[in-house]
A and B are shown apart, each in its own frame.
Chain A
Amino acid sequence: MKKQKIYSIERKQARWGFIFTIPCLAFFAIFSFYPIIYAFLTSFTNRQAIGRNHSFVGLENYIYIFTKNNGGFPLSNSIRATIVFTLGTFVPMIVISLIVAAFLMQLRKDRYRGFFQLMYYMPAVLSSVVAAAIWMIIFDPRGLMNQVSNFVMRTTGIDYNWLVDPLMLQVSTMIIYFWKYIGYFVILFITGLASIPPTIYEAATVDGSSRWHTFWRITLPLLKPTTAMVSIMAMLQCLKTFSTQFMLYQGGSPRAPIDVITMNIYFTGIRNGRLGRASAMSIVLFVIMLVFTYLQLVANRSSEDVEY
């Protein structure tokens, strides 16, 4: 007589859990894993856009992008532009979004908090094209940014060349990105802050802890998991930045200072039709993102220990 298998409740639940994740896994497999694998395979070929024939070229594309200047737009410059942009954007974004979130949490009335959350989040829903168009007007030599800069720097009539000077152009892309996405990270931090039990703050108050002391000794340590998650997300988003730089380039700004990896991939693959080479660049970007994420996870490892 055949013996009937008996499953534990946990195992049954795990099975259902797996069944429920199948649609999500299928989605990721089709729209994420497959393109990554396909790009990886394409990076070993000399495939060109539209052309139907291509052949295996081994590591030729990788050797090329690391040793040649790619028609005046070397990958090394793109890596530099990407890292400068990422560091210049995500570090201030994490710090300031945390500060803003902490301030918003101090607001006693929910409707005020809701209003400011909405205000901060609004730019995130704007399309990048609209955002860039707005900022092109602000950065115009006759625009608001020069007026503010002249006021702050106590100068008169100086053109700070926000869209022209290589350094200022990089700063401009950082400002646009910062403006557009800070609200998103503020919301994430507010969610993290709201999950800290109020009893801990009450106990601290009873023990005579000051607000400043409470923030440093209670809020920040308990917020570590959120900070780790937000910083990884922000960093990955910054590494993938494209539309801000592309729109400024379309508006006439020079490409080299803001030629981030994604933009180089776009020009190499779509405009110049070298799909094999562009795929190799995208794999390099993937590896950079993987390495940075791993480093951040290692740096934040202790965050998993937080318990309320």
Chain B
Amino acid sequence: MFSVISLLLSCQRQAEEVVIEYWTHADEKREELEARLIDEFESEYPGIKVERRVLSSAELLDMVPSSLEAGEGPVLFNLSSEEISSLLISGALEPVDGSILDTSLFIDGSFEGVTLGDKIYGIPREYTNWCLYVNKAALDEAGLPLPRTWEDIVGIAESLSVHDGPILRNRVFDFRYPYYLTFFIPMVEQLGGSLVGPDGSFVYGDEAWIKALSFMQEWGPLGKNLGSPTLVNARTLFNTEDSLMCLSGLYQEERIKEQNPEFYGSDRWAVLPFPVFEDSVADVSGLHYMHFFLVNAARSEREKEAGWLLASFFVDHADQYLEEVGLLIPLRDMIEGDKVQEKPFGDVFISDLGRSHAVYSGEHASEIQNLIGEAIENVMLRGMSPEQAVASLRASVNYLFAR
């Protein structure tokens, strides 16, 4: 009799089980942590089953909008600040359940990219700014000082890059090419321009844009040939000491630790503030961006509820995200407390945040980033004049906003 009742109960439980499909981009360190957290979550909430699906960043950008368009898609997913606006405007995202979110726990501006009207549509999971990782030992050995400006970096690259005729055999530093809103816009701002001007127009301050693009042209294969968007990511090479400098976030430290523990444990590397131009008119560091947990508005009420529950469960483990993955969740306790400062060079990241602001996350942010990339690639790889590239970029951005 009891077995019949327990069978019936288990059938009922199975019928009530909610499955949350959670899509996220690849990150080995985070995968380990989230797999463990999901196990804990499932034991705490036995009626909820989580299916975590890992996609490359590019796949995530393609698959989330197209699956939502088809009325399908995951319950919970994450996207970075500049990729959210079109989903937000279209109504594809579910507002955060107010009962699970205490916004006062987060630092100011945490919900900038996911607020529409008086509603909040996402919970921040990562708060990242980039600083300059340097192989201090290699620079010391070459008798070169630590760089402070972009011109210093060019000087170091000219001294230490290895060329075989016109073929670049070994790079010293290179930019994070597809992420132009994060590293290139602050370079423009340092020179007095901006993406959005005070009058609301895009690509503001021709002179600054032309100067920044000229710098990139000089850097590329048609100039001094010190780097190129077609080469392997310098950030990856830094971990194995095959590149001497790179731009990256705090999370890079955990990756160095994983890939090259000996280098991580040594004093041969350091993190320096985001460089500036010698003739900068504004002290701006790498712009900060966030990754948000987002919930698909087209799913059932139970699924959405469970999705937010999982997102808030993840955020409740902010300490572990910082310790194990090097990801900073923008909670006041985390930013203002000692935990980040205790990480190697954590103070550099925190101090650079004071010179930073959020990346542009308004309408068409993702397309604008692609267009800036096109302008940079045109000057670096096709020899287009910076003046022409700026004019073309402005026209293309204006096209996005035209009906």
Q: Given A49-B86, A252-B229, A71 and B400 touching (CB < 8 A)?
A: yes
| A255-B374 in contact (CB<8A) | yes
Interface residue stretch chosen among B159-167, B249-257, B277-285: B159-167
- When the two chains form the complex, which single residue of A72, A164, A256 contacts B228, counting CB atoms closer than 8 Å? A164
- Chain A neighbourhood of B164, CB < 8 A: 142, 157
Q: Is B15 an interface residue (CB 8 A)?
A: no
Q: When each residue 240-253 of chain A gets 1 if its CB lies under 8 Å from chain B and 0 otherwise, what string results?
A: 00000000001111
A220–B191 CA distance with the chains assembled, in angstroms: 67
How distant is the Cα of A254 from the Cα of B230 in the complex, in angstroms? 9
The answer, among A72, A163, A254, for a CB contact under 8 Å with B396, is: A72
Other-chain contact of A71, B177, B231, B371 (Cβ < 8 Å)? B371
Secondary structure call for the A interface: loop
Q: How far is the CB of A278 from chain B (nearest CB, A)?
A: 12
- How does the 8 Å CB contact mask read for B365-403 relative to A, with 1 for contact and 0 for none? 011001100100110011000000000110110011000
B19 at interface, CB cutoff 8 A:
no
Shortest Cβ distance from residue B159 to the other chain A in the assembled complex, whole angstroms: 20
Q: Is A192 close to B, CB under 8 A?
A: no
* Number of A-B residue pairs at CB separation under 8 A: 99
- Interface range, A side: 35 or more
Residues of B near A146 (CB, < 8 A) are 167
Residue interface mask A254-292, B partner, CB < 8 A = 1: 111100000000010011110000000000000000000
Q: State whether B65 touches A163 (Cβ < 8 A).
A: no
A197 CB-CB contact with B under 8 Å = no
- Could you tell me if A273 and B228 are in contact, using CB atoms closer than 8 angstroms? no
Checking A142, A159, A255 against B221 with a beta-carbon cut-off of 8 angstroms, the contacting residue is A159
Contact of B378 among A51, A70, A254 (CB under 8 A): A254
What residue of chain B has the Cβ atom nearest to residue A70's Cβ?
Answer: B399
Given contacts A71-B396, A254-B374, A270-B62, contact A50 B382 (CB under 8 A): no
CB distance from B397 to the nearest CB of A (A): 8
B92-A50 in contact (CB<8A): yes
Instruction: Indicate if A88 sits at the interface (CB-CB under 8 A).
Output: no
Residues of A with C-beta under 8 A to B392: 72
Residues of chain A within 8 A (CB-CB) of B366 are: 271
Decide if B86 touches A273 in the complex (CB within 8 Å).
yes
Give every chain B residue within 8 A of A136 (Cβ-Cβ): 230
Q: Closest B residue to A250 by CB, please name it.
A: B58
Q: Are B167 and A157 in contact (CB under 8 A)?
A: yes
CB of B350 closer than 8 Å to a CB of A: no
9 A–B contacts, CB within 8 A, in A order: A50-B92, A51-B90, A70-B399, A140-B231, A156-B165, A164-B221, A252-B228, A254-B378, A254-B382
Closest A-B pairs by Cβ, 7 of them: A157-B165, A252-B229, A50-B90, A72-B396, A252-B230, A71-B399, A163-B230
A residues apposed to B, CB below 8 Å: 48-52, 68-72, 136, 140-142, 146, 156-159, 161, 163-166, 250-257, 267, 270-273
